[in-house]
Structure 1
Amino acid sequence: MNSVQNKRILIFLLASIGLIAFPHINHIPKAVFAFFYLLLSWRFIGIWKQNWLPNKSVIFFLTVCGLALLYSQYHGVFGRDAGTRLFVTALALKLLEIKSERDLYLITYLAFIVAASQFLYEQSLLMAAYILFVCSILLATLVCLNSTKPQPFLALKTAGIILVQAIPMAVILFILFPRVEAPKWMLFNEKHQAKAGLSDSMEPGSISDLGMSDELVFRVKFTGALPPPAQRYWRGPVLSYTDGKKWTQVKDLRFRPFLNKPVFTGSSYQYTLLMEPQDKNWVFALEMPADYALPLSQNANYQLVTLDNPDKRTEYKITSYPGYNTGTITRAEYKDATQLPGDPSDKIKQLVKQLHGFDSTSDYFINELLNHFRKEDFHYTLTPPLMEENPLETFLFETRYGFCSHYAAAFVYLLRVANIPARVVTGYQGGELNNVGNFLEIRQADAHAWAEVWLENKGWVRFDPTAAIAPERIERNINIDQLMPGGVINYMPTDAAQAAFNWLKQSRQLWSNIDYHWQRWVINYDNKNQSGFLSSLGITDIKAMLYWMVGSIGLITALLSWLLLYQKQQAIDPVVRLYNRFCQKIAKRGLLRGPCEGAKDFAGRVKIKLPEKATLIDQITDLFIKLHYGKNPTPDDFKLFKKRVKSFKI
């Protein structure tokens, strides 16, 4: 391979490696990322300035620097992050010592590993398409390395054909090959960056911080009709303990037994919930979850939690009832739901007395309290004023500007002052309907807090004081695209027909629908989903699965082999086709060309029998050799060759 071809392949290979490593900008430390591209740029310059390339001593020094950099950025040698950074650094160092074709092969295979490591961080459809693209470039590099005349663009075409031919086999193996999940002892714990989302505690402003985030939390596909917006409460942590400012869950919740299982009434909703990866093991079910399967379980506050790793996208099938009665209250629940951080202030007591909290029924006081929020000068906002000291009293008697967490906390606190069991429930409310896929998308901006009050003969009942202040928050989703810090809260339009003409919104929903099915049927195709899918096809055991897999692979192999052979037979060089026509004309005189007979030898034998055609035979033979075996044939040569063959008569 000459130097010009080497340069062409090196440029092609280095460019593809730069594309492969680029998505890791969000996964590896900036120092490691800069170190990689510094060495990559150095090797690019070395294509034209070979004397600028480092010697062995400098490469050894750079290796020590790379190892020191890795150690300073990550104290460990196992796990996803450590392995990815190690491979990226090793790839960069290997680029500086390319001396032979073997090094090019080694770098290409190492680049494949770095490309595959992207899926350890992100499994979106866009990332899959991007990695497929860069891997096709790497495959084209291998094609160039095995070509006598490397041409990158033709190699890309060849690589694309190879990938297309491999797709049927890949699909069969994906569907039928047994899904083997790594045992838990083989999984290395990573220190992930904290994900934004609901916390296990609540204080003023903690939920409003999520109000402007469009980060996806989960998606829900209902079997039948969707619940109305006012019933779309997705239950999360229940907060019963307060110190006057912060609300938290009670301890040892897992060990508290239920007194009674809820009695469900009315119609149910069956749905499939696809949770995005998160730090907590919470699953936000529609109130109130009734039927679910392992790995889900329910704690004493009716919140669903999963026993599986929450840091991966998981799908759950759940049935919920909007109508329910939880029955009597336990002593532990009553104690938690009436806890106060201290003696209420006189202003608080006066307000409760004014609203007949001490001398009326629970229902009457709740209605009076909701009317108080509704009729007084209270306002709903994502950016309430800062309330450091006595936030509850400051909100109730001074600012009167708050988010759902302020209203829920104030509502529950005032009920407890009246000795009515109440607690705060956090989760999500609402969800945007994807009209293309007919499923709900719940985002961080839908984070919400409401109250739960225990009433005689009714059990725990949901009350949402935010609905008294801003009923549109419950009926309509916040329009995140038009949301500005400190600005007016805008809601999604109620006219579905008008929204349907918004092409930008429809395009986004179309892509979201594609991504939803990609996540469900490809990324989440684990052992459980594979068993369910194959069972629906009548494949119920491993033996049948293997038979189907071997049979399908054999069928595809036979089909591809036939197509390749058929194409090879059809794709005859036009020069060869014309020469075969010339040979067929001579065959009429009984002169057949032997299977291994060269064109020159055949011409010499024919000229003995046809001396009058010797000049034309030599012209045709010389043109054929030049066109078929020569280095620089011209279009004029082909035209002349075609003319001579046509003029040859027997």
Structure 2
Amino acid sequence: MTASPNHNVLIFLLTSIALIVLPHFYHLPISIFGFFYLLLGWRLAGLWKPAWLPNRWLVFLLTVIGLGLIYLQHQGIFGRDAGTRLFIIALGLKLMEIKTERDLYLITFLAFIVAASQFLYEQSLLMAAYILMVCCTLIATLVSINSRNPEPWLALKTASTIILQALPLAIALFVLFPRVEAPRWMLLNDRQQARMGLSDSMEPGSISELGVSTELAFRVKFTGAMPPPAQRYWRGPVLTKTDGKRWTPSPHHGLEAYLDKPVTTGTPYQYTLLMEPQNKNWVFALDLPVEFTDPLERNANYQLITSANPDKRSEYKITSFPYYNTGGITRVEYKDATQLPDTPSDEINALVTQLHGFDQPPGQFIKALLGHFRTEDFHYTLTPPVMEDKPIETFLFKTRYGFCSHYASAFVYLMRVAHIPARVVTGYQGGEFNPVGQFLEIHQYDAHAWTEVWLEGKGWMRIDPTAAVAPERIEKNINVDALAAGETIQFATEGGNQNAFAWLKQARQLWSNVDYNWQRWVINYNRSNQQKFLANFGIGDIKTMMYWMIAILSGISALLSFFLLYQKPKSTDQALRHYQRFCRHLAKHGLIRNPSEGETAFAERIKATLPQLAQPAQHITDIFIRLRYGRASHDEDLRLLGKSVKEFTQENPLKKH
């Protein structure tokens, strides 16, 4: 522990640490990331120029600088980010104090903590494989420290063997060890990192910002039939209040007890929804969710809300009906759904009059307005012109270029002018089917806004004015790869896989399926999923779980012990048996090898005691040392050793002297 570290071991350790901290580039401020690698490079240069290493006063100054960077970059001392930065700075400073092998052990264990901290930010399969690789290099560092002749590749081979031997035990513990989930108040979550997604309000252009984002929102796997694209509306926040530009939810909540229970018809869709981490406690169920598992609840707007931590990836089982009747409308609902920010302009009133919104039934006005959007010169685009002043009038009578939010807000506004209750619904529409895993992937570019209109005898009905202008938006996905800023929106076409890059899409789908199963069965293996999984094997309580865990761990340990202790003899073991036979032959005649006596020392004693045997004894000793400790030995050496020992014992030269 007090010996000076080996030069090669230090290079190996510093390389491992450089790989460990590298993924934190996306999570650390550039000042802290640069400060750490400055210390690492400084320590690496000190291997060849020891005089360049800082003295204790300079190390103290570096410590003060490191703590100052942490303080300036993070307000507070608790949380994921603060803890990670503290450990990385501490690791970099400790590198400047390497003097003995004991310091190497401390640095290695600290590096293990930094490696594990990466999972606080990302838990993908690729990251898990990367962290496993760098942990293998750390174990190899420990092997090198305790090796007489530290060779990096031999140390890596030994470390890989150790990991493979430990893997069955790790899997058994992962599956059977009781999952303990910390209370929500104990979770040290840093919410400064904004996640892209829908907001609880809508303004012109707010949803179009998500139109080119390929970030995953959630994945859905159906049990049985999958709904057609025209029915894939994933319900999110319902917006009823407007100031003419911005739409927000109704201030009246908790009134679900006064609503009629929806009457559903048709064949239901059952599915498992895997939500990605987000900032809001929303779950985007297929319109209209009727049955769902805890901790989901349905609010007065038929939106699903979860009481679980939204920062964690979560899975839910939901049943939805595509056809439904929500029943009557309350006074509060009617007031919210007919609210206008001010008196409509003459142009708005003229348009409603022209489309018979004041003198025809609501159904006729809806058809007329959709026809107006369809036949007039309206365009669907991700990059509509800026409409700061009176955005609805500007969109309807001047620009006529808009995204789904423009059409939804204008449609609802015109409905309300005609005294028809209407509201905006935001969420996602569509989804890309993965044929490998048989599930839907819904990305941020699938974000959408549509409307609901209340009609007597039918309740709230979904009306999507975007479908009147761009029906392909409902039937197909936006082709994000082919979309350039400022161009007309393009959609994915059938047979698109027949191009030269079809294999890239297939590879992406295959990888997406692997990642989906990794997230479901590994990352999302919480207490609830563990109980459901083990129940299939008749394991229903902790006592039975512990019995099974002890039995399986004991069985795996017994098998590993058997293979480790009863392996097929290696060539080095055969060489040792030949040499021991040589020593026993000498011991019978009084020349006994001492337990602490090395092979070379024993050969020298043989020469001094029996000079006439110096040559065969030295010959046997040289061959054995080459086989036992040499880097390059051959089967021919083993045969030669056996032959030499046999001749030595058969000739029995000791009896002649």
Q: Shorter-chain TM-score category?
A: over 0.9
* Residue 540 (structure 1) aligns with: 540
Contact 2:497-2:505 within 8 A present in 1 as well: no
Q: Give 1:622 shift.
A: 3.5
Counterpart residue type for residue 420 of structure 2:
I
Contact persistence 2:179–2:530 (CA under 8 A): yes
Question: Residue 626 of structure 2 corresponds to which residue in structure 1?
Answer: 627
Report the equivalent of 1:491.
491
> Matched residues in 2 for 1:495 and 1:76: separation?
54
Correspondence for 1:174: 174
Match of 1:312 in 2: 312
When residues 73 and 153 of structure 1 are mapped into structure 2, their CA distance, relative to the original with a 3 A threshold, is same
3-state SS of paired residue (1:360): coil
Q: Measure the CA separation in 2 of the matches of 1:614 and 1:499.
A: 80
> Is contact 2:259–2:300 with CA below 8 Å preserved after alignment?
no
Query: Are residues 381 and 595 of structure 1, via their aligned partners in 2, closer, same or farther at CA, if it must alter by over 3 Å?
Result: same
Structure 2 unaligned runs (5+)? 652-657
Q: Give yes or no for the alignment of 1:618 onto 2:617.
A: yes
Matched, 1:220 2:220: yes
Residues in 2 aligned to 1:133 and 1:492: alpha-carbon distance in whole angstroms: 39
Residues 209 and 625 of structure 1: is their aligned pair in 2 closer, same or farther, counting only changes over 3 Å? closer
Q: For residue 102 of structure 1, what is the amino acid of its counterpart?
A: R
Residues of 1 paired with 2:64 and 2:331: CA distance? 65
SS in 2 for 1:453: strand
Contact 1:217/1:442, CA 8 A, preserved across alignment:
yes
Cα–Cα, structure 1 residues 193 and 631, in superposed 2: closer, same or farther, change >3 Å?
A: closer
Q: 1:20, 1:114 within 8 Å by CA — same for their partners in 2?
A: yes
Distance, in Å, in 2 between the alignment partners of 1:61 and 1:287 is: 61
1:98 aligns with 2:121: no
Q: Secondary structure at the match of 2:382?
A: coil
2:346 aligned residue: 346
Cross-structure match for 2:433? 433
Q: 1:281–1:306: 8 Å Cα contact kept in structure 2?
A: yes
1:2, CA displacement in angstroms?
12
1:210-257 deviations in Å (ceiling 9; x for gaps): 000000000001011111000000000000011111111111423553
Q: 1:583 to 1:9 in 2, by over 3 A?
A: closer
Q: Which amino acid aligns with 2:264?
A: F
Give the AA of the match of 1:546.
M
CA offsets per residue over residues 368-417 of structure 1, 9 Å max, x none?
11011001111111111111111111111111111000111111111111
Q: CA deviation at 1:191?
A: 3.4
Q: How far off its partner does 1:150 sit?
A: 1.1
Which residue in 2 is equivalent to 1:186? 186
Q: How much has 1:591 moved relative to structure 2?
A: 9.5
Q: Distance in 1 between matches of 2:409 and 2:211?
A: 17
Secondary structure in structure 2 of the residue aligned to 1:525 = coil
Rounded to whole Å, the distance in 2 between the matches of 1:571 and 1:330 is 88
Q: Secondary structure at the match of 1:201?
A: coil
- Secondary structure, in 3 states, of the residue corresponding to 1:433? strand
By how many angstroms is 1:566 displaced? Answer: 2.1
Given residue 69 of structure 1, which amino acid in structure 2 is its aligned partner?
A: L
Give the partner amino acid of 1:147: S
Amino acid in the other structure paired with 2:265 = T
Deviations 1:587-629 (Å, cap 9, x if unpaired)? 9xx999999898899999999xxx9x95874355343454356
Give 2:116's aligned residue.
116
Q: Distance in 2 between matches of 1:490 and 1:574?
A: 72
Partner Cα separation in structure 2 for residue 57 and residue 537 of structure 1: 62
- Deviation per residue, 1:247-296 (Å, 9 max, x gap): 11111423553411101100000000000000011100000000012211
What are the superposed Cα offsets for residues 139-184 of structure 1, whole Å, 9 maximum, x if unpaired?
A: 0000011111111111011000000000000000000001111123
1:259 corresponds to which letter in structure 2? L
SS of corresponding position for 1:93: helix
Cα displacement string for residues 293-324 of structure 1 (whole angstroms, at most 9, x for unaligned residues): 22111111101110111011000000000010
Give runs of aligned pairs for residues 491-530 of structure 1, distance below 5 A: 491-495=491-495, 498=498, 502-530=502-530
Amino acid at match of 1:245: K
Whichever residue aligns with residue 98 of structure 2, its letter is I
List per-residue Cα deviations over 1:531-561 (Å, max 9, x = no partner).
1111111000111000000000100000000
1:143 lines up with 2:135 in the alignment: no
Residue in structure 2 matched with residue 390 of structure 1 by the alignment: 390
User: Is the alpha carbon distance of 1:630 and 1:165 closer, same or farther for their aligned partners in structure 2, counting shifts above 3 Å?
Assistant: closer
Where do 1:50-69 residues align within 5 Å? 50-69=50-69
Cα distance between partner residues in 2 of 1:513 and 1:372: 43
In structure 2, give the amino acid aligned to 1:522.
V
Distance 1:615 1:154, change over 3 A: closer
Are 1:565 and 2:565 matched, yes or no? yes
Say what the alpha-carbon RMSD is for the aligned residues.
3.0
Distance 2:192 2:631 in 1: 60
Q: Distance in 2 between matches of 1:89 and 1:602?
A: 52
**CA distance 1:601–1:396, shift in 2 (3 Å):** closer
Provide the rounded CA distance (Å) in 2 between the counterparts of 1:526 and 1:554: 25
Letter of the 1:562 counterpart: F
Identity %: 63
- Amino acid across the alignment from 1:621: I
Letter in 2 for 1:341: P
**Aligned equivalent of 2:411:** 411
Distance (whole Å) between structure 2 residues aligned to residue 594 and residue 357 of structure 1: 114
Task: Give 1:50 deviation, angstroms.
Answer: 0.5
- Once the two structures are superposed, the pairs formed by residues 342-381 of structure 1 within 5 Å of their partners are 342-381=342-381
Q: Secondary structure at the match of 2:218?
A: strand
- Once the two structures are overlaid, the 10-residue window that deviates more, 497-506 or 251-260, is 497-506
Which stretch has the larger CA shift, 27-36 or 546-555? 27-36
Name the CA shift for 1:549/1:369 in 2 (closer, same or farther; >3 Å).
same
Alpha-carbon contact 1:5-1:150 (below 8 Å) kept: no
Q: Which residue of 2 aligns with 1:20?
A: 20
Q: How far apart are the structure 2 equivalents of 1:423 and 1:209?
A: 22
1:482 CA drift (Å): 1.1
Which whole-Å CA distance do the structure 2 matches of 1:351 and 1:338 have between them?
A: 18
- Contact 1:576–1:628 under 8 Å retained in 2: no
Aligned 1:247-262 pairs, distance under 5 A: 247-262=247-262
SS of structure 2 residue aligned to 1:494:
coil
Describe the superposition over 1:106-130 as per-residue Cα deviations: whole angstroms up to 9, x where unpaired: 0000000000000011101111011
Q: Which amino acid in structure 1 is aligned with residue 136 of structure 2?
A: S
Instruction: Give the TM-score of the pair, scaled to structure 2.
Output: 0.92
| Contact 2:266 2:323 survives alignment (8 Å) | yes
Amino acid in the other structure paired with 1:372: H
How far apart are residue 498 of structure 1 and its match? 4.0
Report how many aligned residue pairs link the two structures: 644
1:569 Cα deviation from its structure 2 partner: 3.7
Residues 206-285 of structure 1: matches in 2 within 5 Å?
Answer: 206-285=206-285
Alignment of 1:429-508 (within 5 A): 429-495=429-495, 498=498, 502-508=502-508
C-alpha displacement of 1:647: 6.5
Are 1:39 and 1:96, in contact at CA under 8 Å, matched by a contact in 2? yes
Q: Which amino acid aligns with 1:242?
A: T
Paired position in structure 2 for 1:86: 86
Contact kept, 8 Å, 2:293 with 2:317, in 1: the verdict is: yes
| Inter-partner Cα distance in structure 2 for 1:413 and 1:131 | 54
Q: Quick one: distance in 1 between partners of 2:63 and 2:629?
A: 48
- For 1:204 and 1:560, the matched residues in 2 are separated by 64
Give 3-state SS (helix, strand or coil) of 1:237's partner: strand
Structure 1 603/375 Cα, relative in aligned 2: closer, same or farther at 3 Å? closer
SS of the residue 2:411 aligns to: helix
**Paired amino acid for 2:407:** Y
- Kindly tell me: are residues 280 and 567 of structure 1, through their superposed partners in 2, closer, same or farther at Cα, counting changes over 3 Å? same
Which amino acid in structure 1 is aligned with residue 617 of structure 2?
D
- SS of structure 2 residue aligned to 1:280: coil
